[in-house]
Amino acid sequence: MIGGLFIYNHKGEVLISRVYRDDIGRNAVDAFRVNVIHARQQVRSPVTNIARTSFFHVKRSNIWLAAVTKQNVNATMVFEFLYKMCDVMSAYFGKISEENVKNNFVLIYELLDEILDFGYPQNSETGALKTFITQQGIKSQTKEEQSQITSQVTGQIGWRREGIKYRRNELFLDVLESVNLLMSPQGQVLSAHVSGRVVMKSYLSGMPECKFGMNDKIVIDKQGKGGSSEDGGKSGKQSIAIDDCTFHQCVRLSKFDSERSISFIPPDGDYELMRYRTTKDIILPFRVIPLVREVGRTKLEVKVVIKSNFKSSLLAQKIEVRIPTPLNTSGVQLICMKGKAKYKASENAIVWKIKRMAGMKESQISAEIELLPTNDKKKWARPPISMNFEVPFAPSGLKVRYLKVFEPKLNYSDHDVIKWVRYIGRSGIYETRC
Amino acid sequence: MPAVSKGDGMRGLAVFISDIRNCKSKEAEIKRINKELANIRSKFKGDKALDGYSKKKYVCKLLFIFLLGHDIDFGHMEAVNLLSSNKYTEKQIGYLFISVLVNSNSELIRLINNAIKNDLSSRNPTFMCLALHCIANVGSREMAEAFASEIPRILVAGDTMDSVKQSAALCLLRLYKTSPDLVLMGEWTSRVVHLLNDQHMGVVTAAISLITCLSQKNPDEFKTCVSLAVSRLSRIVSSASTDLQDYTYYFVPAPWLSCKLLRLLQCYPPPEDGAVKGRLVECLETILNKAQEPPKSKKVQHSNAKNAILFEAISLIIHYDSEPNLLVRACNQLGQFLQHRETNLRYLALESMCTLASSEFSHEAVKTHIETVINALKTERDVSVRQRAADLLYAMCDRSNAKQIVAEMLSYLETADYSIREEMVLKVAILAEKYAVDYSWYVDTILNLIRIAGDYVSEEVWYRVIQIVINRDDVQGYAAKTVFEALQAPACHENMVKVGGYILGEFGNLIAGDPRSSPLVQFNLLHSKFHLCSVPTRALLLSAYIKFINLFPETKATIQEVLRCDSQIRNSDVELQQRAVEYLKLSSIASTDVLATVLEEMPPFPERESSILAKLKKKKGPGAVSVTELEDSKREGGELNGGGDRGPDTASTPSPSADLLGIRSAAPVGAAPASAGSLLVDVFSEAGTTTTLPSSSLFWLLFVCKNNGVLFENQLLQIGIKSEYRQNLGRMYLFYGNKTSVQFASFTTTPQLNVQTKPVEPLVEGGAQIQQVLNIECLTDFSDAPLLNIKFRYGGALQNLTLKLPVTINKFFQPTEMTSSDFFQRWKQLSQPQQEAQKIFKANHSMDTEVLKAKLLGLGTALLDNVDPNPENYVCAGVIQTKGQQVGCLLRLEPNAQAQMYRLTLRCSKDSVSRRLCELLAEQF
pLDDT digits (tens, 9 = 90+) for B213-242: 988 888 888 888 888 899 889 888 888 766
Whether residue A10 and residue B108 make contact (CB cut-off 8 A), yes or no, is no
What span, in angstroms and rounded, lies between the C-alpha atoms of B153 and A348?
51
Spell out the residues 6+ positions from residue B254 whose beta carbon is closer than 8 angstroms to its own: B201, B205, B236, B244, B247, B248
Nearest C-alpha in A relative to B76: A375
What span, in angstroms and rounded, lies between the C-alpha atoms of B916 and B85?
100
Cα Rg, chain B, nearest whole Å? 40
Of B25, B32, B42, the CB nearest to A346: B32
Whether residue B45 and residue A372 make contact (CB cut-off 8 A), yes or no, is yes
Residues of A in contact with B42 (CB under 8 A): 330-331
Whether residue A345 and residue B73 make contact (CB cut-off 8 A), yes or no, is no
CA A56, A57, A63: angle at the middle one, nearest 5? 160
Of B31, B41, B105, the CB nearest to A372: B41
ipTM score assigned to the predicted complex? 0.73
Q: What is the DSSP string of B10-74?
A: -HHHHHHHHHHHH-SSHHHHHHHHHHHHHHHHHHTTSSSPPPHHHHHHHHHHHHHHHHTT----S
End-to-end CA distance of chain A: 45
- Closest listed residue to residue B616, CA positions, set B401, B414, B817, B395: B395
What is the model's pLDDT at position A314?
Answer: 93
Residues of A in contact with B25 (CB under 8 A): 10, 62
Whether residue B74 and residue A378 make contact (CB cut-off 8 A), yes or no, is no
What span, in angstroms and rounded, lies between the C-alpha atoms of B695 and B664?
8
Whether residue A330 and residue B26 make contact (CB cut-off 8 A), yes or no, is no
Residues of A in contact with B32 (CB under 8 A): 346
The alpha helices in A65-104, defined as continuous H runs, are 75-93, 98-103
Of B34, B44, B74, the CB nearest to A345: B34
A interface toward B at CB cutoff 8 Å? 10, 42, 62, 327-331, 345-348, 370, 372-376, 378
What is the model's pLDDT at position B19?
Answer: 92
For residue B341, the tally of other CB atoms under 10 A from its CB is 6
Q: What is the DSSP string of B639-664?
A: HHHHHHHHHHHHHT-SS-HHHHHTGG
Contact present, B461 and B446 (Cβ < 8 Å): yes
Nearest C-alpha in B relative to A10: B25
What span, in angstroms and rounded, lies between the C-alpha atoms of A22 and A69?
10
Contact present, A203 and A417 (Cβ < 8 Å): no
Minimum distance, in Å, between the CA of residue B30 and any CA atom of chain A: 8
Nearest C-alpha in B relative to A330: B42
**Distance from CA of residue B493 to its chain's centroid?**
29
Q: What is the mean pLDDT of chain A?
A: 87
Whether residue B73 and residue A329 make contact (CB cut-off 8 A), yes or no, is no
Contact present, B155 and B175 (Cβ < 8 Å): no
Contact present, B804 and B700 (Cβ < 8 Å): yes
Give the dihedral sign, CA B484/B489/B490/B491: negative
CA atoms within 13 A of residue B35's CA, in its CB half-sphere: 11
Low-confidence ranges of chain B (pLDDT < 70): 1-8, 47, 104-106, 241-242, 607-701, 742, 745, 750-767, 795-797
Residue B53 assigned as binding residue? yes
Residue A395 has pLDDT above 90, yes or no: yes
Contact present, A175 and A198 (Cβ < 8 Å): yes
Measure Cα distances from B388 to B312, B338, B350, B354 in Å.
18, 12, 6, 8
Residue B535 assigned as binding residue? no
What span, in angstroms and rounded, lies between the C-alpha atoms of B501 and B494?
10
| Chain A interface mutation, best of B16, B41, B78, highest count of A Cβ atoms under 10 Å | B41
Whether residue A330 and residue B73 make contact (CB cut-off 8 A), yes or no, is no
- Closest listed residue to residue B334, CA positions, set B321, B315, B320, B319: B315
End-to-end CA distance of chain B: 83
Residue type, B97: F
| Chain B interface mutation, best of A330, A347, A380, highest count of B Cβ atoms under 10 Å | A330
Q: What is the mean pLDDT of chain B?
A: 78
Residue A353 assigned as binding residue? yes
| Chain A interface mutation, best of B20, B25, B65, B70, highest count of A Cβ atoms under 10 Å | B25
Q: Which helix (H) or strand (E) holds B209?
A: helix B201-217
How many residues would you count in chain A?
A: 434
Nearest C-alpha in A relative to B77: A375
* DSSP 8-state assignment for residue A292: E
Number of helices and strands in chain B (H, E): 42, 16
Whether residue B35 and residue A346 make contact (CB cut-off 8 A), yes or no, is yes
What span, in angstroms and rounded, lies between the C-alpha atoms of A2 and A73?
8
Residue A360 has pLDDT above 90, yes or no: yes
Residues of B in contact with A347 (CB under 8 A): 31, 34
Minimum distance, in Å, between the CA of residue B122 and any CA atom of chain A: 30
Residue A230 has pLDDT above 60, yes or no: no
Minimum distance, in Å, between the CA of residue B152 and any CA atom of chain A: 33
Task: Name the band, by pLDDT with cuts 50, 70 and 90, for residue A281.
Answer: confident
**Distance from CA of residue A15 to its chain's centroid?**
26
Torsion of CA B339, B344, B349, B352, to 10 degrees: 170
Residues of A in contact with B31 (CB under 8 A): 346-347
Residues of A in contact with B108 (CB under 8 A): 375
Residues of A in contact with B24 (CB under 8 A): 10, 62
The alpha helices in B672-816, defined as continuous H runs, are 673-676, 683-686, 694-702
| Chain B interface mutation, best of A38, A298, A346, A368, highest count of B Cβ atoms under 10 Å | A346
What span, in angstroms and rounded, lies between the C-alpha atoms of B737 and B743?
11
Could you report the per-residue pLDDT of A180-225, keeping only the tens digit for each? 999 999 889 999 999 999 999 999 998 899 999 988 888 877 776 6
Whether residue A328 and residue B108 make contact (CB cut-off 8 A), yes or no, is no
Q: Which helix (H) or strand (E) holds A307?
A: strand A299-308
Whether residue A348 and residue B39 make contact (CB cut-off 8 A), yes or no, is no
Mean pLDDT of A253-277: 90
Whether residue A331 and residue B45 make contact (CB cut-off 8 A), yes or no, is yes
Residue A277 has pLDDT above 90, yes or no: yes
Residue type, B815: P
- Closest listed residue to residue B598, CA positions, set B684, B470, B693, B508: B684
Nearest C-alpha in B relative to A298: B45
Residue A130 assigned as binding residue? no
What is the model's pLDDT at position A352?
Answer: 95
Spell out the residues 6+ positions from residue B774 whose beta carbon is closer than 8 angstroms to its own: B731, B732, B733, B734, B751, B755, B756, B757, B805
Minimum distance, in Å, between the CA of residue A150 and any CA atom of chain B: 44
Nearest C-alpha in B relative to A376: B73
Largest CA distance in chain A: 82
Residues of B in contact with A328 (CB under 8 A): 41, 73-74
| Chain B interface mutation, best of A372, A377, A380, highest count of B Cβ atoms under 10 Å | A372
Whether residue B74 and residue A348 make contact (CB cut-off 8 A), yes or no, is no
Taking CB atoms within 8 Å and a gap of at least 24, the contacts of B579-584 are B579/B539, B579/B542, B579/B543, B579/B648, B579/B684, B580/B542, B582/B651, B582/B660, B583/B542, B583/B543, B583/B545, B583/B546, B583/B549, B583/B684, B584/B560
Residues of B in contact with A368 (CB under 8 A): none
Residues of A in contact with B73 (CB under 8 A): 327-328, 374-376, 378
What span, in angstroms and rounded, lies between the C-alpha atoms of A370 and A302?
11
What span, in angstroms and rounded, lies between the C-alpha atoms of B581 and B588?
11
Whether residue B38 and residue A376 make contact (CB cut-off 8 A), yes or no, is no
Nearest C-alpha in A relative to B37: A345
Residues of B in contact with A10 (CB under 8 A): 24-26
Residues of A in contact with B16 (CB under 8 A): none
What is the model's pLDDT at position A428?
Answer: 93
Residue A344 assigned as binding residue? yes
Whether residue A330 and residue B34 make contact (CB cut-off 8 A), yes or no, is no
Burial zone of B85 (CB within 10 Å; 0-12 exposed, 13-18 middle, 19+ buried): middle
Whether residue B25 and residue A10 make contact (CB cut-off 8 A), yes or no, is yes
Residues of B in contact with A330 (CB under 8 A): 38, 41-42, 44-45
Residues of B in contact with A62 (CB under 8 A): 24-25
What span, in angstroms and rounded, lies between the C-alpha atoms of A433 and A411?
58
Could you report the per-residue pLDDT of A12-33, keeping only the tens digit for each? 899 999 999 998 888 899 999 9
